[in-house]
Every structure is written in structure tokens, then in C-alpha cells.
Structure 1
Amino acid sequence: MIIAITIIGVLILAYFAFTNFYPSFGGDVSKQQQLIYKDSKQFKDGKFTNINPVPKELSFSETTKLAYTFFTTKVPNGRPKKDLKVTKIDSTNVANYKGEARMIWFGHSSFLLQIQGKNILLDPMFGKVAAPHPLLGGNRFNQEFPLAIEKLPQVDAVIFSHDHYDHLDYQSVLKIKDKTNHFYVPLGVGEHLKAWNVSESKITELDWWQETQLDSLKLVCTPAQHFSGRKLNNGQSTLWSSWVIQSNEENIYFSGDSGYASHFTEIGNKYGPFDLALMECGQYNEMWADIHMMPEETAQAGVDLKAKKIMPIHWGGFKLALHEWTDPVVRVKVEAAQLNIEVITPTIGEEIRVKDAINTSINWWDNL
């Protein structure tokens, strides 16, 4: 008994030492900041909440069981047979681009958006694993990127949807922070950036439905149904969101992570129709369907948003669930056909024209 208690005590001390001193865990929201967040309708009893009463608070035994199931279940075709090849783009082409709005997918939920002469990064996660330490996660599906991060031009804005590791990555922020003019994040997420030496003057935090201007562009922080946290004791301490990006000519929606709910219809009615909606589609399971959409719901959400086209994202990057790696894109295409909404499925690195995107790489994932 003494040995068991000693081992448990050592593990607890090691956890707190790891989370308090290892920088990738980010910052903590202070009591002073919480007083400011009390003005938000989403902030209750010291935590951010969804409109619906989700996600369910899991007990320790439920959390342990879920973790055991994830780490011990063998998933056939859970990863590509080999690293995904990407379409390369020349750094000069990117730096000198002045054409119509376009996007470059870096895999998972990361994009470079070039619009109205500006360079904007969406959830720029360029890390090898979606975890606080390289030993705590599986490698991403693509070793290379369309463009080396060091060769990115000056970045006008970075937009983050929430603070999970597959979206907000410490090493990625270090690589881009000095070439980034400004960061736009949901409430609380700025604490992580400040902990990583991003100047507070370069950070704008927004609540749901708040709008801001980036010169001619309108940026809107819109709802999502998800959760947050980078360690066991700071869950729901920061807000999660989707985003609307509007110019005089283009209208783009970026879902972040979200379960299916009525907010898609509300956003569509208020800000739609959208030329292109980047829609979460991957890392789902019936056990956590309230915080990640099933592929069929992804297609329906695109309809709710009044999107002219949807692009499935949050797949093709990491194995974070128990489905085959191609299951998301296959299923969403089937449902989208039934709902008569167009789906585009570009390769990583392929140019995506916001107004007139078309598929030039049909089912590129076959046999991979």
C-alpha cells in the first residue's frame, strides 16, 4: 500500500511539474481576466459553456475508460500507407500574389488565405504531433508542407478557433509570431500567446458575435459547440469559436471544431450565403458526437449555412479518432450529393479559388 501511494504521489508531482514548467501547455487565465469574462453570456461559474448543455462532464473512471479504448483499439486503415505527398507552391508566387481570393490547405484545419492583398493564416498548426510533447502523439500524415514555414511572407493576421493541440501549437507560434502583425482569437486564448511572448498589443480577443475590421475585411467570431483546455485542470477556461471572413467580394466561413447544432442556421441567416465553407469533418465518434460532427451532419451544416460549396477539413492530418482515415471524406461526399450541395476536396497545397473553386484532384486518397 505504501509503495502504491508513493507511486501515485510521484506521478501527481511529475504531472504538475510537467504542466507548470513545460512551455507548450501555454498560459492560465487569471482571476482578474475571469472578472472581465463575466460580461460574456458564455461564461458561467468560472468556465465557458455551450448554448446546449454539452459536453458531458466525464468522471475519472469514464475518462480512463475512454482513453484506454482509444489507445488500445486497432483501426484498420487508420493512417495512410505512406506519407501524403503535397503540392508544392513557390515562395515567390505567394509573396507576390495580388490576384483573386485564394486558399492553400496545409492539412487538417490549417490554411493560408490570400485575400484583398493580405496574408491570413487559419489555425496554423505545423507541428509533428497534436500533443504537448512529441512522445505523446502520433506523427501527422504529411512530413512536408506546400511551403516551408520559414518561407512564408509577412503575415497580416493569424486566426485561431480554440486552444486544442491540433489547432494551437507552441512551436508553430514561435515560428510565425515575429512575422505576424496581429492575432485574432476567442476569449482567453490570448493567454497562451502571451505566455509564448507574443505582445499583448498584437492580440485581439473576441466573444461570439463580436466583429472587428482588418482594413477592408470584416472578421466575425461566431459560435461553435465544442470545448477547450490544454491540461487536466484548465478545461473550458478559454472560449472556442468559428469565424466569418468577409470582403466586399468574398464571404468565407471557417468552422473550427463543432458538434452539429442550431448555430449553423443562425450564422447562415445572419452572415450567409457563403462562397466557401471550411467544415469540420473528421475525428468523430458516437461517444463524442456532441462536440464533433459526423460526416452526414457536416453536409447538413453546409446547407444550414447557405454555403455554395463546402470543403471538408479536420481530416487528412492526424489520427485522433477510431475511424478509417478516408471515412470522413467518403461519407460527406455521399451525403452532400443527396442534399445537392457541392463539395471540393483539393490535395494538400493545391490552390483553392474562393469564388470558383473546382475539383481537379478527384478522390486523390484512393489506394493510399
Structure 2
Amino acid sequence: MLENIQFANPGFFWLLLLLPLAAIWYYFKRKEETASLKISSIKGFSSDDFLTRLKPLLFLLRLLALAAIITALARPQTEDISSKTKTTKGIDIVMAIDVSSSMLARDLKPNRLAALKDVASNFIRKRPNDRIGLVVYAGEAYTQTPITSDKAIVLNALKSITYGKLNDGTAIGMGLATAVNRLKDSKAKSKVIILLTDGVNNSGFIEPQTAAELATEYGIKTYTIGLGSNGNALSPIAYNADGSFRYGMRPVEIDEGLLKNIAEITGGEYFRATDNDKLEAIYDEINKLEKTDIEEFKYYRYEEKFRSWALLAGALLLFEWLMRNTVFRSFI
């Protein structure tokens, strides 16, 4: 009966302390409630000992009724809670991904591009309340998918990214400018670009510095990631006769000064990922830095349960009154 019950006025339960006091009072006063007759002998009188022993039940019924009344005063009730969440400060994010041939280097497993796609997929899944878009760049840049809240579309677009759809090269300025173009008209509270590259700017007609200044003008923060191990990496160096890549050791060249400058100008941060674990840690760190504020509304619905206790008290008192005026009438 008390399962999942809470009490609106639990202070009334202090009144239950009166019950043992009443029981003690009754114990010492019970004989005074029955008229007595002093005679020299009770021989010839018949006495219903069974009903006499049951007479204290009348007082017990009153105590139970009082306990039920106190419980009703405490207002037992059940509580049903429903909640709704509302994103109050949405974030629009564009991930600008380098897809040049050097992204096939195998210093990350199985290669840089595959490792990035795996880590970026997890990052996207952790941002359920934000809109995300994808830009890919090599010798030029284009939008893989515009910013959208449909994560299935973004994840499928990310999965389909491959090398070979663009002229080779690393146009960092073009990649950043394309990402800025995707975000410049956004009405989101916060606008973020995550720019990843494993090389130096050697293509395109937009300078990275110019693109960074453009991002600053539109209030777009840019996190830059330099991808590649320190020293040399097993990278594509030529084509085989069948069109596949021939791999060889090549020095890792990342323009960290440029990436740091872009991050500083736009209010972001620069990170260096030299292996799979560090790349994953970087995206986790960005996920923590860019928090989406979510407002939660809770709705409470109470169902009062005191009526059943009040009815129980009334039933006990009525039963006590009936017993007192019928079965136990001759004893009172």
C-alpha cells in the first residue's frame, strides 16, 4: 500500500508518539471503565469470559483509526516525473579534412585517413545536439555535406570520403575558407571549425592567413590538428604499373607554425597527433572544450492517496461503534 509513496506533510507522524501513551493510559484505567459490584460470592453468576477478554479490541480499533487519520494528515501521494530537454546554445561545427595522398601514410593504423574517419565518427556520435558539416580538401576544396543535425547523413558522408576525388596537394587556405563559407551565415551561438592536415600549404589561391582572418571576422573559432608521427613515415612515393601506390619512407612535414597561428588568430587551439591514441584524445578534448548548454524541464504530477486512509479510519470507528453498541453493550 505504501509502495512508491512519499508524504507531503511527514511532520504529522510525530503524532504517532501519542499512541503508546494512550495504550499505557488505557492499561491503568481499563478497570474503571466497567461498573463493579462488590459481593461476598460470585457463585450463581454466569460470566462470558471470552467476550470480556475481547473488550480491549474496542480501544485497539480506536488506536488504529487514529493512526490512519495521522497517516491521512501526512498526505501520502505518488509522484510522476516527466522531463524534456531543450538545447539553449547550439553549436555548428564544420570538420575540414585533408584528403591528399600523404593521408594514406601508415604511421597511424591502418593509415592516417582511415584512423581519422574512425575517430571523427565517434566524435560526431558524441554531439547529438549540434549541427555538423564536412569539408574535404587536397589541391582544392569542396563541401562533402553542409551543416545538418541529421547525424546519419554526416556519418555516411564521412564514411564515403576517399583519396582520389581531388587533385593532389594541400590547399589549407582553400579548405579553411570553404569551411568558413559554410558557417558564415549560421545563427548558432557558437561556430567551430576543426581543421586537420598532415602537410604544408602548397596549393590553392587563398592564403591560410587570409582564411583565418575571415574566420575571425565571422566569429568562427578554429581548432587545428597536425597529423603525423615525428621523423619519417611510410608514405606513398610513386605509382606501380598497376596504378597502385608504391610506399617508402618519407619525412613528415607539417607546418606547425601556420597551424598554431590559425588557432591563435581565431581563438582556438593547436594539437599534434602522432598516433591513433593521441588523435582520439584530441577529439575527446575538443568535445570537452565545446560544450552545448542543455536546459532540462521537469514536470511533476502528484496523485493524492490520503482518501483511502481517511476512509479506513472512518470504517474502523464505525465498526468500533457498532461493536460497542451491540456485542459489547452489556459490558459497558
Question: Which structure has greater strand proportion?
Answer: 2
Relative to the length of structure 2, the TM-score reads: 0.32
Q: Tell which has more relative contact order, 1 or 2 (C-alpha 8 A, sep 6+).
A: 2
Relative to the length of structure 1, the TM-score reads: 0.29
